[in-house]
Amino acid sequence: MATKPAIPKGTRDFSPLEMARRNYIFDTIKDVFRLHGFSQIETPAMENLSTLLGKYGDEGDKLLFKILNSGDFLKGIDPAAIDPAEVNKLAVKICEKGLRYDLTVPFARYVVQHRSELQFPFKRYQIQPVWRADRPQKGRYREFYQCDADIVGSDSLLNEVELLDIIRDVFSRLNINVVIKVNNRKILAGIAEVIGAPDSLVDITVAIDKIDKIGLENVKAELAERGLAAEAIEALTPIITLTGSTAERLAALKSLLAASEIGLKGVEELETILAMAGTEGAEIELDVSLARGLNYYTGTIIEVKALDTPIGSITGGGRYDNLTGVFGMPGVSGVGISFGADRIYDVLNTLDLYPDDAIAAPRCLFTNFGPAEAARAMELAKQLRSEGISCVVFPDAAKIKKQMSYADAMKFRYVAIIGETELADGTVTVKNMAEGTQATIAAADLAAYLSANSQAPHSPSSL
Amino acid sequence: MATKPAIPKGTRDFSPLEMARRNYIFDTIKDVFRLHGFSQIETPAMENLSTLLGKYGDEGDKLLFKILNSGDFLKGIDPAAIDPAEVNKLAVKICEKGLRYDLTVPFARYVVQHRSELQFPFKRYQIQPVWRADRPQKGRYREFYQCDADIVGSDSLLNEVELLDIIRDVFSRLNINVVIKVNNRKILAGIAEVIGAPDSLVDITVAIDKIDKIGLENVKAELAERGLAAEAIEALTPIITLTGSTAERLAALKSLLAASEIGLKGVEELETILAMAGTEGAEIELDVSLARGLNYYTGTIIEVKALDTPIGSITGGGRYDNLTGVFGMPGVSGVGISFGADRIYDVLNTLDLYPDDAIAAPRCLFTNFGPAEAARAMELAKQLRSEGISCVVFPDAAKIKKQMSYADAMKFRYVAIIGETELADGTVTVKNMAEGTQATIAAADLAAYLSANSQAPHSPSSL
């Protein structure tokens, strides 16, 4: 035990400052969810492996953390018959449970399991960690929080509008400038249809997703490599190189997709959503190269990018028509969004957008010079707390220098000094740590004094 | 996939109502922690098994959930050499990580790992789930939340007083009547010393812990069985049958323990703590039979019991002198408490102590009778939200009956009806669901109307 203890790679401890910052983000998002009438649920960290396996593709299955059965996990297994080349087969025999990989599959399982207790439309949010046995790297963790809101049991496009509204509201409160990119899987299907390659939807979208990175000519080459006919590639070109405003491009798409019923439906859905969402708040922009989640999204696709720092997508979502089919409950349509808490955290850190109040230390430290002084401090601390002011009494009768450096390091805004004189006079000497000033006031006035002098706090990080 | 999906035994989903109730408990506790200057931290769900093993006794080691190494977990292991009778040896070879079993060991690991970043005294709280492979039974789960506050790096008894203050404040806010039982391990050691059985501390405390349940004679018999000498049992009797107030019993203990330095120290510590804690708030009572956590507590021992329902301990804690020694950092004294969230939840449910506001549904449902009406509703909903009023627009233009039963089932307090007339007149018809009354008001007055009429809400559960 002599070596310094550590945590598993890809996991993190969150310090007090990190927690204060993360709580600021989650509280902001939660408050918006609440105003929109979303209810919170939680599901267990462990799900039956049968619930998780096969839901995230072969790659996802490999990234599931599996939990060893407790007790005699080898019961009924002949060690001699174990094939070391087939460890996955052994894994599912000795592990019945796994850690959740996302919040969507547990939510689908929840909806099916509790269908008789739920009212539809069901608006739920869920903020919990998920675990993936990914190779850890910068910005990619094996344990991270997801923050999802979904509305299930309603086809109405009003739900999409509400989610866009939530996105605008959240990022406006967080002071992050964003652009909201939208697309519709039906438009992508329409494109594949009109260029005569209805089965190449995924190839097409994967390629056009790269247009910004590698340019049109390389995209064309890649499409040809993927086996798309030259005519199809030519037919695709005007579509993926559309310019102009979102309204102009939607109008152009309407004529380009005139022969595709599903394509027109996609354009119409987007037009309806954009009209209802209005122009107040963050810009909503059509991006036909947006092709995330094609395995499950069936309508609207949403992605949010921060404008002032190059970090990629910080929120995503979309409409799925068959969330719960895999658990035997077909026909439940839903639409959801997921806020990328870790990336939002990185944006706020990079741009230093935390309000002082959100990450403030407790307001006041009381010094401790002995039992009588400490008793008076405890009494005053109780009064402050009853008025909602956070404070700490230094527990040990240490030298004043030590107590003051503690106050400084912990970034307390005030230190309330109670020495012999103050004790005798019924006063407190209050030191304002940011300004270096101090004043002796009546003990009874302390709460009012600390409140009145807290209107324009200095940033703790600028002390 | 035809069978209804389920979750692992001993785990739970938390529904919206359950989450609202649990959030009420956690938010109340967090607010008190915050006022007392505790900072929140979080640690990963997974710890290295080496961090966890050996910290909870042999029984605890068995109850750890182990996580199968990802990839080729059998690498380097010859299946033929596996001894089915020694599965635990195999387990630690194929599992490097485990799920945390409590919050104390991860906290000790955190303090050691981050010692250079921390200021002492360090006041932290932590609210996270823990996992134990216990046999599930009523009230015992394999995943449950712990809610811990600790102060480390200070010997001062002021810290004990602060924790007692926090306990009183939390249960007063939650409206739960409690008695706080306190003891001191040094008193127990003193007792063992003066009766001439210093090595039988655990036997003695286990036996006297049962005095309420099985009576004095049976306790004596059990002590004899455990090998305690007859004289020692006789010497013990006056101590464990002390009557009178806490102050009277402490005074009596002082003479009974006159020959034991450590015993007197324990009495003195308790006297100091009780004098500082005062008599305002929940009663604090000496209970010499209180003997929880003797493996780690070295001073004060605390246990809280609810008075109005027989549920056992709902909070516990104590002073430990060597939290971090096992990780190579000796000499760090601390004192902590742990609120039993699940039991507190049971008490609040049994006594129906939730304030209406804490578990209220969103305030208002807007009906939806078509695109124009829905657009007006969306606009008004936005206004309400900007004034902090939670509301929902029904997403589908369904029949009014369906929308009203949704409002009823979801326990909305108000339904705002916008039909053709209201749309034309710029009005809203507001139905108060609890009282069955309705009124037509100007749309612009809606926020004020809903706020003014929300002063004396009916309990959602009494609708």
- Alpha-carbon distance B45 to B52, whole Å? 12
Q: What does chain A come to in residues?
A: 463
Q: Closest partner residue to A121 among B39, B388, B395, by Cβ?
A: B395
Same domain for A199 and A136, yes or no, is yes
Contact A16 B73 (CB under 8 A): no
Q: Closest partner residue to A390 among B34, B112, B393, by Cβ?
A: B34
User: What are the structure tokens assigned to A129, written together?
Assistant: 């960690």
Q: How many CB atoms lie within 10 A of CB A355?
A: 12
pLDDT band at B458 (very low <50, low <70, confident <90, very high): very low
Q: Which of B3, B13, B88 to probe by mutation at the A interface, max A CB count within 10 Å?
A: B13
Task: Find the closest chain A residue to B325 by CA distance.
Answer: A1
Contact A6 B124 (CB under 8 A): no
Contacts of A155 in chain B (CB under 8 A): 396
**Residue B72: what residue type?**
D
Report phi then psi at A97, rounded to 5: -125, 155
Contact A35 B391 (CB under 8 A): yes
Task: Write a three-state SS string for A97-118.
Answer: EEECCCCHHHHHHHHHHCHHHC
Predicted ipTM > 0.90: yes
Same domain for A319 and A252, yes or no, is yes
pLDDT in tens, B12-71: 999 999 999 999 999 999 999 999 999 999 999 999 999 999 999 889 999 999 999 999
Q: Where in B253-341 does DSSP place strands (E)? A: 283-286, 300-306, 313-320, 334-339
CATH number where B395 lies: 3.40.50.800
Query: Is B57 part of a structural domain of the chain?
Result: no
Domain end marker among A333, A351, A369: A351
Query: Is B68 part of a structural domain of the chain?
Result: no
Judge residue B103's burial from the number of C-beta atoms within 10 Å of its C-beta, 0-12 exposed, 13-18 middle, 19 or more buried.
buried
- Alpha-carbon distance B173 to A418, whole Å? 30
Query: Does pLDDT of B459 surpass 60?
Result: no
pLDDT in tens, B369-387: 999 999 999 999 999 999 9
pLDDT at A4: 83
Q: Which of B18, B25, B67, B114 to probe by mutation at the A interface, max A CB count within 10 Å?
A: B67
Same domain for A331 and A368, yes or no, is no
Domain end marker among B315, B333, B351: B351
Same domain for B305 and B210, yes or no, is yes
Task: Give the distance from residue B304's alpha carbon to the nearest chain A alpha carbon, in angstroms.
Answer: 21
Query: Is B284 part of a structural domain of the chain?
Result: yes
Q: Closest partner residue to B35 among A8, A11, A385, by Cβ?
A: A385
pLDDT at A201: 86
pLDDT in tens, A76-113: 898 888 998 899 999 999 999 999 999 999 999 999 99
- Alpha-carbon distance B89 to B286, whole Å? 45
Of B457, B222, B233, nearest to B360 by C-alpha is B457
Residue A180: in which H helix or E strand, if any?
Answer: strand A178-184
Report phi then psi at A312, rounded to 5: 80, -160
Q: Which domain holds residue B186?
A: 16-47+101-351
Same domain for A407 and A265, yes or no, is no
First-residue to last-residue Cα distance in chain B: 39
Query: Is B446 part of a structural domain of the chain?
Result: yes
Q: What does chain B come to in residues?
A: 463
Query: Is A198 part of a structural domain of the chain?
Result: yes
Residue A2 DSSP code: -
How big is the CA angle at B353 (ends B350 and B359), to the nearest 5 degrees? Answer: 110
Q: Which of B17, B46, B126 to probe by mutation at the A interface, max A CB count within 10 Å?
A: B46
How big is the CA angle at B368 (ends B367 and B370), to the nearest 5 degrees? Answer: 155
Task: Find the closest chain A residue to B143 by CA distance.
Answer: A44
Same domain for B343 and B369, yes or no, is no
pLDDT at B378: 96
Task: Give the distance from residue B269's alpha carbon to the nearest chain A alpha carbon, in angstroms.
Answer: 14
Q: How many CB atoms lie within 10 A of CB B62?
A: 14
Radius of gyration of chain B (CA): 29
pLDDT band at B2 (very low <50, low <70, confident <90, very high): low
Contacts of A375 in chain B (CB under 8 A): 276
Task: Find the closest chain A residue to B84 by CA distance.
Answer: A74
Contacts of A162 in chain B (CB under 8 A): 378, 393, 395
Stretches in chain A below the pLDDT threshold 70: 1-2, 453-463
Same domain for B329 and B215, yes or no, is yes
Same domain for B248 and B321, yes or no, is yes
User: What order do you get walking across the sheet with B300-306 strand by strand?
Assistant: B39-40, B122-131, B143-152, B334-339, B313-320, B300-306, B178-184, B283-286
Q: How many domains does chain A have?
A: 2
CATH number where B255 lies: 3.30.930.10
Same domain for A410 and A333, yes or no, is no
- Please state the pTM of the whole predicted model: 0.94
- Alpha-carbon distance A284 to A251, whole Å? 16
Q: Which positions ≥6 away from A424 have C-beta within 8 Å?
A: none
pLDDT at B312: 83
Same domain for B335 and B218, yes or no, is yes
Residue A236 near residue A203, CB atoms below 8 Å: no
Q: Which of A1, A19, A23, A35 to probe by mutation at the B interface, max B CB count within 10 Å?
A: A35
Same domain for B405 and B331, yes or no, is no
Query: Is B416 part of a structural domain of the chain?
Result: yes
Contact B5 A51 (CB under 8 A): yes
List Cα–Cα distances, A302 to A264, A286, B93, B385, in angstroms.
19, 10, 44, 23
pLDDT at A253: 96
Q: What is the mean pLDDT of chain B?
A: 93
Query: Is A389 part of a structural domain of the chain?
Result: yes
Contacts of B388 in chain A (CB under 8 A): 35
Domain end marker among B329, B351, B373: B351
Residue A273 near residue A302, CB atoms below 8 Å: no
Residue A171 near residue A178, CB atoms below 8 Å: yes
Contact A385 B36 (CB under 8 A): yes
Query: Does pLDDT of B452 surpass 90?
Result: no
Task: Find the closest chain B residue to A72 by CA distance.
Answer: B87
Task: Find the closest chain B residue to A99 by CA distance.
Answer: B67
Q: How many CB atoms lie within 10 A of CB B54?
A: 13
pLDDT band at B463 (very low <50, low <70, confident <90, very high): very low
pLDDT at A463: 30
Task: Give the distance from residue B239's alpha carbon to the nearest chain A alpha carbon, in angstroms.
Answer: 31
Query: Is A84 part of a structural domain of the chain?
Result: no
Same domain for B333 and B369, yes or no, is no
Task: Give the distance from residue B194's alpha carbon to the nearest chain A alpha carbon, in angstroms.
Answer: 31
Contact A396 B121 (CB under 8 A): yes
User: What order do you get walking across the sheet with A178-184 strand by strand?
Assistant: A39-40, A122-131, A143-152, A334-339, A313-320, A300-306, A178-184, A283-286
pLDDT in tens, B282-328: 999 999 989 888 778 999 999 999 999 988 899 999 999 888 999 99
